Structure 1
Amino acid sequence: MKVLVPQENQLMRKLVSIVLIGLLLVIPARVMSWGFQGHEYIGALAWEYLTPEAKEWVKERLDVVNEASLSEVTTWADRVRGSEEGQFLGPLHYANIPPTESQLDMQRDCPNRRCVVGAAMNDIDVMFDSKQSLQAQGEALRTFSHWITDMHQPLHLGYQQDRGGNDIRVTFFGAEMNLHRLWDSIMIRGMDLMPAPSEQAALHPLPEVGNTDWHHALIGWANESYELAREHAYADLDNNAELGEIYFNQARPIVEQQLIHSAQRMAMIINAAAAQ
């Protein structure tokens, strides 16, 4: 077998990047948060981390809300966006933070829990309450699986002033779009090039979990996303910035990392709820 010298390795990585970037721009995608493909991948990966008990717990609750799998249910909150219910849920897909602030403040940025973090907290409260009906827990699982996923897209914890990057125009390899869409749907394309969920779970085992304050954990994870948005998504970008391979090569690993973290954390919480 031929061993590539360093120059050949560098050229191979460059070629792979160019091919992947081309795929990102031409593969059709439904423009939703993380894309349907990203949500479904996270749900399928989370399933790999569930205990047998948790898998049964999930199946029982998905049955009552007519959802086929954890992978598919992650997209429900996007599927209903055009409905009256979907409009009510609209503000729950994100939390915007002033750029002058370093962390999420629930009273300031999520009053009455009307943001993605507060919505996830509300669903956890129902999922962990054994007095709740299967229907109520199924509906909570249905939305929780989406909120925990959205929370890990950094620009869903973006700045107030630009609506999480929606008001920042950029050009990515000649294609004009807003910054939020670049992270939400363009970077997520080409997911078929990532390992299958079963392989990914083997590569990244579920961390050990002790007794956890899940509300506190959610705030911590939200702040992680906000920091990634500040350091990498925004990266001191000016409006109408032209972005290319350097930006892509810095952003893509963060997207992949966040997909894995989202799946692991979804699984941790579901495993804990099922063990109640």
Structure 2
Amino acid sequence: MRKLVSIICIGLVLIIPARVMSWGFQGHEYIGALAWEYLTPEAKMWVSERLQKVNEPSLSVVTTWADRVRGSEEGQFLGPLHYANIPPEEAQLDMQRDCPNRRCVVGAAMNDIEVMFDTNQSLQVQGEALRTFSHWITDMHQPLHLGYQEDRGGNDIRVTFFGAEMNLHRLWDSIMIRGMDLMPNPSEQAALHPLPTVTSSDWHAALIDWANESYQLARRHAYADLENNAELGEIYFNQARPIVEQQLIQSAQRMALIINAAAAQQ
């Protein structure tokens, strides 16, 4: 029944114009709300103090800031930081080749983590870093934000999904997450998927590992040997939707792990 309702929701969404933004506002906000459930009391205070400085009401809402400013001069500067494109013949991300000067989603997350962990930084500066980090870490978990360079992460691949024409990137960004009200609410989801007990002495290496996970998911599931103008439907949806849900949960957990660690050392 849940699968049937999801497909019906997809069908309804396909006839409604959608803002094309990574994971959509709904996906980002769900991740932020779920990450909040995983934070320690100390980390919740750490986040609240910093969000107050940047006039953002919650971790859920702040995850959308980098998309909200896309039409501004600042948003244009941030544009390349939403993704990292990798040549299809390469097996993994190479920071020098695919993210020169850290001008990609992985490098941007690294920069923000350094600020968040720097106890000499002001609440304002750390709040600004948290504001963008919360978006980069979520974008990193949308597989086509680590997609192929030659098709711009699926943007140049046209597909027909349940009869509606779109590009592959939009399908994964905006369409696959429709009907998310069928997923458990954040508090229930956190109870179903407890935060892993992970400690890291190298968050930069962890970010690269997570980016490579997304890249492999893109290769195996998003692209899946698709040809241009492929017709996709229930089979593709049923294979892709669990990947999307997994990535939403892992994104929230990993955001929380890093924030908890940053707060613990302040």
TM-score scaled by length of structure 1: 0.93
Partner residue in 1 for 2:103: 114
Give the 3 Å change call, closer, same or farther, for CA 99–61 of structure 1 in structure 2: same
Distance (whole Å) between structure 2 residues aligned to residue 69 and residue 241 of structure 1: 40
Where do 1:159-178 residues align within 5 Å? 159-178=148-167
Report sequence identity in percent: 89
> Is 1:133 matched with 2:145?
no
Distance (whole Å) between structure 1 residues aligned to residue 84 and residue 65 of structure 2: 19
How big is the shift at 1:26?
A: 4.3
Q: Do the aligned partners of 2:10 and 2:175 also contact (CA within 8 Å) in 1?
A: no
Distance (whole Å) between structure 1 residues aligned to residue 185 and residue 99 of structure 2: 35
> Is 1:50 matched with 2:42?
no
Give the 3 Å change call, closer, same or farther, for CA 13–66 of structure 1 in structure 2: closer
The code of the aligned residue for 1:138 comes to: G
Helix, strand or coil at the partner of 1:170: strand
Higher Rg of the two aligned structures? 1
> Is 1:254 matched with 2:237?
no
Pick aligned residue for 2:133 from 140, 144, 149: 144
Where do 1:1-276 residues align within 5 Å? 12=1, 15-26=4-15, 29-276=18-265
The code of the aligned residue for 1:197 comes to: P
The code of the aligned residue for 1:142 comes to: R
Give the 3 Å change call, closer, same or farther, for CA 227–64 of structure 1 in structure 2: same
How big is the shift at 1:209?
A: 1.7
Q: Do the aligned partners of 2:10 and 2:178 also contact (CA within 8 Å) in 1?
A: no
- 210-219 vs 43-52, which moves further: 210-219
How big is the shift at 1:13?
A: 6.4
Q: Do the aligned partners of 1:95 and 1:115 also contact (CA within 8 Å) in 2?
A: yes
Distance (whole Å) between structure 1 residues aligned to residue 239 and residue 200 of structure 2: 35
Give the 3 Å change call, closer, same or farther, for CA 13–42 of structure 1 in structure 2: closer
Distance (whole Å) between structure 2 residues aligned to residue 225 and residue 250 of structure 1: 15
Helix, strand or coil at the partner of 1:104: coil
How big is the shift at 1:18?
A: 3.6
Distance (whole Å) between structure 2 residues aligned to residue 14 and residue 105 of structure 1: 38
Unaligned runs of 5+ in 2: none
Distance (whole Å) between structure 1 residues aligned to residue 148 and residue 222 of structure 2: 11
Unaligned runs of 5+ in 1: 1-11
* Alignment deviations for residues 76-112 of structure 1 (CA, whole Å, 9 cap, x no partner): 0000000000000000000000000000000000000
Q: Give the RMSD, CA atoms, in angstroms.
A: 1.2
Query: 4+ residue runs of structure 1 moved beyond 3 angstroms?
Result: 12-18, 26-29
